[in-house]
């Protein structure tokens, strides 16, 4: 049995597209595997729980009980991929916790494969946060997300040293369309007969990128 992947989508900045990415990834994994467990650690940002209530539960890392509950769920090698939408408010506390408890070593011991998806930005907070992650996370498990909607230009040089996953920006009218709480990426693929539409191509491209990422990362650890 291959390692159980745990995708942690994070940024120390709000409104960089984390929840959009978490929605995409969760729907992809559900389509591919038939199951996924998603966790929403957000305050005032758009909530993954609102978009995918049947797949998502809330989590809290600001107190000891909440931390223990979340870690108990993430460390289970059950073959069901996990997706964590980590709010910017919890970024420092979460990675302080994982470092202190030796999360990566314990995960490896239990055949769980944490994959950190860091959503890049060009601000000073992100520039300080990324090196901190580099000290904790093996380069093959730290993926930089180059969201074209956020990084309007070249990715900061230091953030492009490892693997980069690029998300192209959608036109504003399509962004508004997919931001509806009732919108499903997978349902759109199934129901839109015209596969040449921009949104259809965008979803397929991202799903393909996720499949290639999962295959390459888990192949290294199996």
pLDDT value at residue 222: 56
- Which CATH number covers residue 69? 3.40.50.300
pLDDT value at residue 70: 95
Neighbours of 62 (CB within 10 A): 12
Structure tokens at 215: 């295959």
The answer to whether the beta carbons of residues 210 and 30 sit under 8 Å apart is: no
Q: What percent of the chain has pLDDT over 70?
A: 96
Number of domains in the chain: 1
- Rounded Cα–Cα distance for residues 151 and 158 (Å): 14
Per-residue pLDDT reduced to its tens digit, 61-106? 988 999 999 999 999 999 999 999 999 999 999 999 999 999 999 9
pTM more than 0.75: yes
Per-residue pLDDT reduced to its tens digit, 144-183? 999 999 988 888 888 988 899 999 999 999 999 999 999 9
Domain housing 93? 4-221
- CA-CA-CA-CA dihedral for 173, 165, 221, 28, to nearest 10: 10
Average pLDDT value over all residues in the chain: 93
């Amino acid at each position: 049995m291959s390692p159980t992947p745990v995708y942690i989508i994070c940024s120390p900045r709000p409104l960089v597209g984390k929840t959009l990415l978490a929605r995409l990834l969760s729907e992809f994994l559900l389509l591919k595997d038939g199951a996924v467990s998603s966790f929403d650690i957000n305050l005032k940002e758009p909530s993954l729980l609102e978009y995918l209530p049947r797949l998502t539960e809330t989590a809290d890392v600001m107190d000891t009980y909440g931390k223990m509950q979340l870690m108990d769920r993430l460390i289970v090698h059950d073959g069901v991929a996990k997706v964590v939408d980590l709010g910017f408010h919890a970024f420092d506390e979460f990675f302080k916790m994982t470092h202190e408890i030796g999360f990566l070593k314990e995960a490896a011991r239990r055949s769980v494969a944490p994959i950190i998806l860091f959503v890049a930005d060009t601000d000073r907070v992100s520039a300080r946060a990324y090196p901190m992650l580099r000290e904790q996370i093996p380069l093959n498990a730290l993926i930089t997300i180059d969201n074209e909607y956020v990084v309007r230009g070249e990715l900061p040089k230091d953030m492009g040293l490892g693997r980069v996953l690029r998300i192209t920006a959608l036109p504003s009218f399509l962004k508004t369309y997919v931001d509806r709480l009732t919108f499903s990426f997978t349902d759109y693929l199934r129901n839109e007969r015209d596969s040449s539409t921009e949104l259809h191509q965008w979803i397929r491209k991202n799903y393909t990128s996720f499949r290639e990422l999962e295959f390459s990362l888990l192949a290294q650890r199996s």
